[in-house]
Amino acid sequence: MYGSPDPAAAERTAFRRAEKQYKLYKPPNAKGRARTRSTPTGGDLSAVVDFHALLAADGELPAGIGRCDCAGFGRPVFCFLDRPGFYFIPGALSTDEQCYWIRESLSTFPQPPNRTNLTAIYGSISDLLIAAKNQKTLVEVDNPDSQETNQQNNSGANTQPKNFKFVEESELQKGEVCRSAAATTLVRKLRWSTLGLQFDWSKRNYNVSLPHNKIPDALAILAKKMAIPAMPSEKEFKPEAAIVNYYGPSDMLGGHVDDMEKDWTKPIVSISLGCKCIFLLGGKTRDEVPTAMFLRSGDIVLMAGEARERFHGVPRIFTEDQQDISALVSQLSGEDDRFILDYIKNSRININIRQVY
């Protein structure tokens, strides 16, 4: 699904060239070695489709872009005339809704039995966000019988039970050599969490034998409502799983096709939160030149049918321009949200919801 079997060949594709064009580059460091991604290069963004600008202009649309007439949906939906099955719903979520889903993404979504990229290293971690707000540290404990450990998990394939627990900074023994990580650092290291049926990244498939909860009702209701433009009226979209992606300033998601779900007529409902990004929508091979577009906090994208066979990815996150998230920033200005605000000012979260069977 993700990545390319032959990196040298991938370099030569139109998709790879677009990724390189938009990604963030660091200037060379003191020793002259080129580092990647730190200072924005500026870059030519003139070809990036900005659906919000089209919405504001309210005039004639550029060639190749259409408005979808979706009876009863009640909000604008854009599409590309030559890419059926792809729908863009600008500003689908209110600022309140965005704040709600950002909080959920950092508090409840990474909770066991949901797995995250940290699970394979540390075992299940409960209440990571609370620990981060309280400046706690996760430490490896000697006593495997300790009742406070997070040993029970490990559902995940190819992992050994781990014994880690959160402690106060004052409890850390000076000079003691043990594996440890600040909870704040761990939140920054979150890359993905999986809700509902658990996606096993090592096998790149859903592993129904892993313990899981149903995806939250509110998320399922939202996804069903937003899936309408991509659904024939007689059919039903049944949200069964979600992958939550967490992006820091220099993260990107390489071109891929999501092909692990049974019925490709059903959409992937993909919610953007936090910093703006560039999303590339390509063709059925990497050789087709992808279309670049901005995704902002509150935008929702649907990919169904033919669009599900298209390569797509996220080559760039914009953390330097806070203009786009000013409403979020003021909404999250309360003391309780201080940690969340610091996080989201430099991050993007994507929640994509899928029907697996």
Bind-site residues for Fe cation: 256, 258, 312
Dihedral (Cα; 74, 76, 82, 83), 10-degree rounding = -70
Q: Name every residue whose Cβ is closer than 8 Å to that of residue 301 and which is 6 or more positions away in sequence.
A: 86, 87, 88, 89, 270, 272, 279, 295
243 binds ligand AKG, rule: CB under 6 A: yes
Residue 279 CB, nearest approach to ligand AKG (Å): 6
Q: Nearest residue by C-beta to Fe ion?
A: 258
In 90-221 the beta strands, taken as DSSP E runs, fall at 115-116, 137-140, 164-167, 180-182, 192-196, 199-200, 205-206
Of 350, 353, 355, 356, the one binding ligand AKG by CB under 6 A: 350
355 binds ligand AKG, rule: CB under 6 A: no
- Pick between residue 141 and residue 268 the one whose CB is nearest to ligand AKG: 268
By DSSP bridging, strand 199-200 and strand 205-206 are antiparallel
Of 88, 109, 206, 279, the one binding ligand AKG by CB under 6 A: 279
Of 19, 258, 266, 308, the one binding Fe ion by CB under 5 A: 258
Of 118, 220, 253, 325, the one binding ligand AKG by CB under 6 A: 253
- Pick between residue 123 and residue 315 the one whose CB is nearest to ligand AKG: 315
Q: Which does 279 bind (CB under 5 to 8 A by kind): ligand AKG, Fe ion, none?
A: ligand AKG
**Amino acid residing at 5:** P
- Contacts with Fe ion by CB under 5 A: the residue count is 1
Total count of residues recorded for the chain: 357
Of 352, 353, 355, 356, the one binding ligand AKG by CB under 6 A: 352
Residues 182-221 that bind ligand AKG (CB under 6 A): none
- Pick between residue 128 and residue 293 the one whose CB is nearest to ligand AKG: 293
Residue 224 CB, nearest approach to ligand AKG (Å): 19
- Pick between residue 200 and residue 258 the one whose CB is nearest to Fe ion: 258
CA of 308: how far to CAs of 3, 49, 160, in Å?
16, 20, 35
Q: Which does 253 bind (CB under 5 to 8 A by kind): ligand AKG, Fe ion, none?
A: ligand AKG
CA of 120: how far to CAs of 146, 193, 204, 258, in Å?
20, 12, 15, 23
- Give the three-state DSSP class for 25: strand
Angle of helix 217-227 versus helix 95-106 axis, rounded to 10: 130
Evaluate the CA torsion angle 94, 98, 104, 105 in order and state its sign: positive
Note the residues at the interface with ligand AKG (CB under 6 A).
243, 245, 253, 258, 270, 279, 295, 312, 314, 350, 352
